[in-house]
Amino acid sequence: MANFALKVIRLGFSLSGSLFPHTTAKLAFTLFCRTPSRRPKGEKAAAMEAEGRRKLAEAQKIPFVSGSSTVMAYRFNGDGRPGRPRCLVVHGWGSNAAYIAALPTGLAANGAEIVVLDWPGHGLSSGRSLNMRQAVEAAIEAERRFGRFDAVVGHSFGGACLMLAIGGVFKAAGSISPDKAVVIGAPSHIHWLFDDFAAMVGLSSRVKQLLIRHTEKIAGAPLDDFDTVAVATRRDIPLLVVHAEDDKEVAANHARRFDGSAAARLHWANGLGHRRIVSDGGVIDTIAAFLAEASKPSSRLSDGDAAA
């Protein structure tokens, strides 16, 4: 967000927050859910997206409706061959299917049917806003459209949303029921997002609390329930948590919180940060190997393995 625009927003919220706190909280929620511009930032990002679009050209484009949005889905190996495992792959906030195309194409190379989504407000999907409830509903609708997924894989915001969908956290929305899950550079709770957002746009403590209450009303669940570690413990399905200790967008402590969950296996991909991690060949091979394992009670890696 440009400095001048941010100064104007901070001034506006400061003035309106003291006079109309409830209205200000609702306006803040609208801004909080506003998705970034889809235009690539710089030549490198444009080249990455173009390369990703070339990879996605091999997939079927299958749009479907979720709520008020049209969601673009890309399906690889959708020939209906019996025995193909089916996997849902989703991207993070401000990204799209093209940016992470190496991941679904890499998994599809092993013969699985892969469905990858553009979240609402991203890529070729409609809209300019997104919240976790919308994302969960889109994942649930994808399962209705394509059939039950044997596994789900999500990066960043997407990984957190898949875990909330698995946990049925938004009870009115329903849930999904994969046998395995993989989260990559994903947050395990979201209280910190509200702290950072409130500080960035200058919300008072009262308006921040009203923003949280409004979010909980929209979601149909308290913010404390947006906890993917609690979901992992409750559902107890094999879970691979991939993270980099040098991730500057989602701190490594989000992954470390899974250390006490018997269902979770931690894989540290240090040196890859937050964005390169999702397209790294070694990471994709690790995910593919995890998904190919026969279903069995999960066990965490040893401390030595996790630090490698």
* Cα separation, 147 vs 129, whole angstroms: 27
Instruction: List, in sequence order, the alpha helices (H) in 34-150.
Output: 43-56, 102-108, 132-146
The model's pLDDT over 19-74, given as tens digits with 9 standing for 90+, comes to 999 999 999 999 999 999 999 989 999 999 999 999 999 999 999 999 999 999 99
DSSP state at residue 34: B
CA of 152: how far to CAs of 24, 29, 66, in Å?
37, 28, 18
Give the pLDDT of residue 298: 37
* Cα separation, 83 vs 105, whole angstroms: 19
- Assigned token pair, 125: 């999907």
Which backbone phi and psi does 292 adopt, to 5 degrees? -80, -15
pTM over 0.85: yes
* Cα separation, 239 vs 243, whole angstroms: 13
pLDDT in tens, the chain (308 residues): 568 888 889 999 999 999 999 999 999 999 999 999 999 989 999 999 999 999 999 999 999 999 999 999 999 999 989 999 999 999 999 999 999 999 999 999 999 999 999 999 999 999 999 999 999 999 999 999 999 999 999 999 999 999 999 999 999 999 999 999 999 999 999 999 999 999 999 999 999 999 999 999 999 999 999 999 999 999 999 999 999 999 999 999 999 999 877 789 999 999 999 999 999 999 999 999 999 997 544 333 333 333 33
Give the pLDDT of residue 1: 56
Q: Which residues contact 235 (CB under 8 A, 6 or more apart)?
A: 166, 167, 263
Which backbone phi and psi does 248 adopt, to 5 degrees? -95, -5
* Cα separation, 59 vs 74, whole angstroms: 6
Domains of the chain, earliest start first: 1-33+193-223 (no CATH), 42-190+226-306 (3.40.50.1820)
CB 90 within 8 Å of CB 115: no
3-class SS shares of the chain: helix, strand, coil, % to 5: 45, 15, 40
Long-range contacts of 298-302 (CB under 8 A, 24+ apart): 298/237, 298/238, 298/239, 298/262, 298/263, 298/264, 298/265, 299/262, 299/265, 300/259, 300/261, 300/262, 300/264, 300/265, 300/266, 301/265, 301/266, 301/267
295: amino acid identity, one letter: S
Give the pLDDT of residue 54: 97
Q: Which residues contact 244 (CB under 8 A, 6 or more apart)?
A: 185, 252, 268, 269, 270, 271, 272, 273, 274, 277
